[in-house]
Amino acid sequence: MSGAGVFETSDRTRLNVDVAGEGPPMIFLHGLCGDAGQTAEAFPAESGFRRITIEARGHGHSEPGTLQQLSIATFTNDVVAYIEKNLDAPVAIGGISMGAAISLRLAVKRPDLVRALAIARPAWLTAPAPDNMIPNAEVGRLLTQLPLEEAKAAFLAGPVGERLAVDAPDNLASLVGFFLREPIAVTAALLTAISNDGPDVTDADVARIAVPTLVIGHEQDIIHPIAYARALANWIPAARFVQITPKAESRTQYVADFRHAMGTFMKEL
């Protein structure tokens, strides 16, 4: 089964839902300013699971709704509503970056809906507005304050852009792409709101997660510190940590490692 559908939220915001594969469902969520293409790339095609990616408000082909509603809590509530309406819970759930934060929040707030958890390249632990999200927030600020080309030039010439060029070129490439992401007002709102947000859970909450959990991390990534992945794997009792090749080193090997880690995990569920 593959294709796309539409899920309408309680406030009538229409969200795009991308589905691929056969088997039991796994909700697999994209990162900030990403879309279903990101999850399709990383998800193993022969996993035996049906990948379901609900594109968050303002992402991919989903409507943004009101900009004031752009939050990890709202995105989580949308996933909860989709599961309750369309699937037999509990289901496997996971995501990349922001998708990992949504999945973590859902596993804490609605453990009855979750049978397994995959956290890939986490950008949050439990606190809101972590320092590693400053680059995203800076792009959001510049998009709000300056004309597009001036905003991009200011970012590249500033201390954040210069640091990323040396230490995390893949992060820099992603951030530069945000200056081309339409509509610009929605991109700026997402980067500002989500960078200052968090999963709104506690360390103790995370330590009570009882389902099988995979945590994926890699080095050469300032926005997704490998230390965060290791910390979450240590806190969650049934978690396994897998370190994969950084995208900055080899995107091809990154994808292969990611798919292998996910495939191995899902075969055991």
Q: What is the pLDDT of residue 267?
A: 96
pLDDT band for position 40 (cuts 50, 70, 90)? very high
Q: What is the pLDDT of residue 4?
A: 75
Mean pLDDT computed over 114-139: 98
pLDDT band for position 2 (cuts 50, 70, 90)? low
pLDDT band for position 1 (cuts 50, 70, 90)? low
Q: Which residues contact 121 (CB under 8 A, 6 or more apart)?
A: 31, 96, 97, 100, 216, 217, 218, 221, 224, 229
The overall average pLDDT reported for the chain is 96
112 class by beta-carbon count within 10 Å (0-12 exposed, 13-18 middle, 19+ buried): exposed
pLDDT digits (tens, 9 = 90+) for 49-96: 999 999 999 999 999 999 888 999 999 999 999 999 999 999 999 999
Which CATH architecture fits 2-128+198-267? 3-Layer(aba) Sandwich (3.40)
Question: Where along the chain do its domains lie?
Answer: 2-128+198-267, 131-193
Residue 102 has pLDDT above 80, yes or no: yes
Residue 118 has pLDDT above 70, yes or no: yes
Per the CB < 8 A criterion, the answer to whether 120 and 95 are in contact is: yes
- Enter the tokens of residue 106: 């859902």
Mean pLDDT computed over 206-212: 98
Mean pLDDT computed over 128-147: 97
pLDDT digits (tens, 9 = 90+) for 236-264: 999 999 999 999 899 999 999 999 999 99
217 class by beta-carbon count within 10 Å (0-12 exposed, 13-18 middle, 19+ buried): buried
**The pTM of the whole model exceeds 0.85:** yes
